[in-house]
Amino acid sequence: MQKFIVRGGRRLCGELTLQGSKNSALPIMAAAALCDGDCVLKNCPELTDIYAASRILNCIGCKCRYSANTAVITASELTTTAIPASLMQEMRSSIIFLGAVLGKAGECTVCLPGGCELGPRPIDMHLAGMRKMGADISDYGGNIVCRAHGRLHGAKISLPFPSVGATENLILSAVNADGETVINNAAREPEIADLCGFLRACGADIAGGGESSIVIRGVERLHGCEYTVMPDRIAGATYLAMAAAAGGEIILTNACVQGMEPFLSVLEQTGCSIYSSEDRIYLRCGSRLKALSDRVRTMPHPGFPTDAQAVLMAALTTAEGTSVFEENIFDCRYRHTDALVKMGADIQVMGKIAVVKGVNRLHGAKIEATDLRGGAAMAAAALGADGITEISGISHIDRGYERLEEAVSILGGDIKRV
């Protein structure tokens, strides 16, 4: 089992080019299954979740070749519409293939991705929307069987909550449906806009991707295209939080500056100097961080992103004063706090609230990553801590960060994979 060994206490300095976005690349790969002809996806990050998506594409009869951050996907008639449980369980976002396969083949069978690490992740909104578009959906012993009886039809769907996954799945179901679909209260995350950008490049008729109302007029066919996946705003937030935790002066290039604004505006209040231009972000952190006077409330975009909650918390464990977090998106997203406490942090969790009293220093410890962003937070804390931290369970981190140890080393951090 691989581990990260982090020697803390070095300031981070230098320039880093950000990886492509995992949460954008995954639905775009599913969308490529809908196209006739080759889709060439550039800036596709090299991650275990991307390999899992490639395996699903190959299993359903599309050809996916991946090298040097480029995925080439050749879709044809699907050879199966049932995605095996073993592939569904490799990653939670496998559920995004449901909309694509149902939209293309008129049927799809999946099982729910198993044992959740962030708390329950139901798909009721995905299924309710698909039912409105004419799908019959039944549950046979844990398998969800969806049938469209021909083509899905357009529908007016109002989501009770702007779910990212439900919005993506419904867009994928609607692009080839008969007539117009309107999704109200849609998720506005930049990754939704990127998925719509890709689909438009393939010939889809979509208005409003990235806004709370999305209108999709079904088209007969989609064609292949070449598309560059947007930069990863959460990886960007992570490297900035690492520099805030360890101190230093870094520049991120290929950054999604506008999409990162909700994070940047909060990070700036901790006393870091942040300047951004079109696709570059400069951060300098020369002194101890200040705790945040306002509560950090995670919210759907453009609110503060839940995916950046853990890494910001890691940086604030040694800030001057007390910061308060409120996690509103997932039930179990404070699993990193035990490890931070083991490193000397003072954190009290009460339901959705976490109170972080800044301590002077953290110290190294043997800790285990239990989820992707929590694992990244542990690495951030370790970079600012005294002594050596050993982080096990790093397969969680590899799901979303392209060779994290190389990226951190480029910035001068001392982190090794063993």
The CA-CA-CA angle for residues 392, 164, 184, to 5°, reads 170
Binding mask 57-96 for ligand EPU (x = CB under 6 A): ------------------------------------x---
> What minimum distance in Å lies between the beta carbon of 156 and ligand EPU?
18
Q: What is the rounded CA–CA span in Å between residue 234 and residue 260?
A: 8
Cβ-based burial of 122 (10 A; exposed 0-12, middle 13-18, buried ≥19): exposed
**DSSP state string for 387-412:** SEEEEE-THHHHTTSTTHHHHHHHTT
Which is closer to ligand EPU, CB of 133 or CB of 385? 133
By CB under 6 A, tell whether 307 contacts ligand EPU. yes
Q: What residues from 91 to 120 belong to the interface with ligand EPU (CB under 6 A)? A: 93, 120
Which is closer to ligand EPU, CB of 120 or CB of 351? 120
Which one of the listed residues 116, 202, 225, 285 is annotated catalytic?
116
Cβ-based burial of 265 (10 A; exposed 0-12, middle 13-18, buried ≥19): exposed
Which stretches of 254-374 are assigned E, i.e. beta strand?
Answer: 273-276, 280-285, 296-297, 322-326, 346-350, 353-357, 366-368
By CB under 6 A, tell whether 164 contacts ligand EPU. yes
Q: Of these, 110, 329, 345, 391, which contacts ligand EPU (CB under 6 A)?
A: 329
Q: Is 116 considered catalytic here?
A: yes
* 316 contacts 242 by C-beta, under 8 angstroms: no
Closest residue to ligand EPU, based on beta-carbon distance: 165
Binding mask 167-206 for ligand EPU (x = CB under 6 A): --------------------x-x-----------------
Which helix H or strand E contains 374, and what residues bound it?
A: helix 372-384
By CB under 6 A, tell whether 336 contacts ligand EPU. no
In this chain, which stretch among 79-87, 157-165, 202-210, 259-267 interacts with ligand EPU, using CB under 6 A?
157-165
By CB under 6 A, tell whether 31 contacts ligand EPU. no
Q: What residues from 360 to 389 belong to the interface with ligand EPU (CB under 6 A)? A: 372-373
By rule CB under 6 A, what count of residues binds ligand EPU?
24
By CB under 6 A, tell whether 275 contacts ligand EPU. no
* 231 contacts 19 by C-beta, under 8 angstroms: yes
**DSSP state string for 220-282:** S-EE--EEEPPB-HHHHHHHHHHHHHH-EEEEEES--HHHHHHHHHHHHTTT-EEEE-SSEEE
Point out the residues that are catalytic.
116
**What are the residues binding ligand EPU (CB under 6 A)?**
23, 26, 93, 120-126, 161, 163-166, 187, 189, 306-307, 329-330, 372-373, 400
